[in-house]
Amino acid sequence: MEAMETQPRLVNAGDRLELGPETATLEGKNKVLGFWVFLGGECALFASLFATYLTLRGHTLNGPTAHELFHLPIIGLATILLLTSSLTGVLGINAMHRGNLGSLLRWLGVTVLLGLGFLAVQVVEFITYAGEGFGFGTSAFSSAFFTLVGFHGGHVAFGVIWISILMLQLRRSGITPRKAPKVFIASLYWHFVDVVWVFIFTVVYLMGILGIS
C-alpha cells in the first residue's frame, strides 16, 4: 500500500482490520454488496435450469437414461477437484487478509489448476456420452442435462479465466484497497459455482443413478 495517494480513501480503519482490505473503501464495500445481489440473481437462473431438468429428465425418447449414462467414479473425481478448489480459494483470501501476496498467488494458482482439472474431467465425460449416442439433441432429457451442466461448466471456465487475469494484475500491483475487492468477489463467485455443483452432483447425478424419473 505504498501508493496510497492514488488509491481511494479508506472508509474506516477499524473496519479494515476487522473485515480485510476488500471492504477498506466505500467502492470495495459496494462491489461486494453488489456482487451478492448478482449471486441472488444467479440462484434464480440456476433454479430455472434445475426445474427444467427435473421436469424433463424422464423424457428420454428411447435414448440413454440417466441411470444408464452416469457413473459414480468420474463424478466423484470432478466433485473432489471442485470442492478442494473451493478450500484453496478461501485460503487465498486468508493469505490476502494477512497481506501475504506470495501465498495469495500460490493459492489462486492451485485453485485455477483444480478448476482446469474439473473442466478436463467434464470434457472427457461429455465426449464419452457423445460416443454412447447421447448428444444435445438426443432427447428433452439430454437437452436439459447439457444446458444445466454445461452452463455450470461455462461458469467454471469463466472463473478460471477471471482468476488468472487477477493473478497477472496482482503480480504487478500487489494487494491494494483497489485490487482486494476484485479478488474477494472472484472468490465469492468461485464458491458459488461450487455451491451449484453440490446440487448438480446430488440432484442430477446421484438421483439419476438411483433411477428416479
Partner 1 sequence: MTNVPTETHNTGTESGSGHGSVRKHIISFAIMILFTVIAFAMVGAGMSPTVVIPVILALAVIQVILQLWDFMHLNQKGHSFPTLFITSGALLGFIFVLVLVLWP
Pick 94 or 135: Cβ nearer partner 1: 94
Among 50, 126, 136, 162, binds partner 1 (CB under 8 A): 50
CB of 80 to partner 1, least distance (A): 7
Minimum CB distance to partner 1, residue 17 (Å): 6
CA 64 vs CA 1, 55, 73, 202, 211: distances in Å? 57, 17, 19, 19, 12
Helix (H), strand (E), coil (C) string for 23-76: HCCHHHHHHHHHHHHHHHHHHHHHHHHHHHHHHHCCCCCCCCCHHHHCCHHHHH
The answer to the question of residue 65 lying near partner 1 (CB under 8 A) is no
Minimum CB separation of residue 33 from partner 1 in Å reads 6
- Contact between 94 and partner 1 by CB under 8 A: the answer reads yes
Tell whether residue 40 is a contact of partner 1 (CB under 8 A).
Answer: yes
How far apart (Å, rounded) are the C-alpha atoms in residues 136 and 142?
A: 6
Amino acid identity at 85: S
Among 10, 39, 74, 157, binds partner 1 (CB under 8 A): 39
* 14 vs 131 by CB, closer to partner 1: 14
Q: Which three cell numbers stand for residue 22?
A: 476488500
Question: What's at 152, amino acid-wise?
Answer: H
**Taking a C-beta distance cutoff of 8 angstroms, is the pair 21, 95 a contact?**
no
**Is 188 an interacting residue with respect to partner 1 (CB under 8 A)?**
yes
Among 3, 9, 76, 168, binds partner 1 (CB under 8 A): 76
Q: Which of 26, 41, 132, 161 binds partner 1 (CB under 8 A)?
A: 41
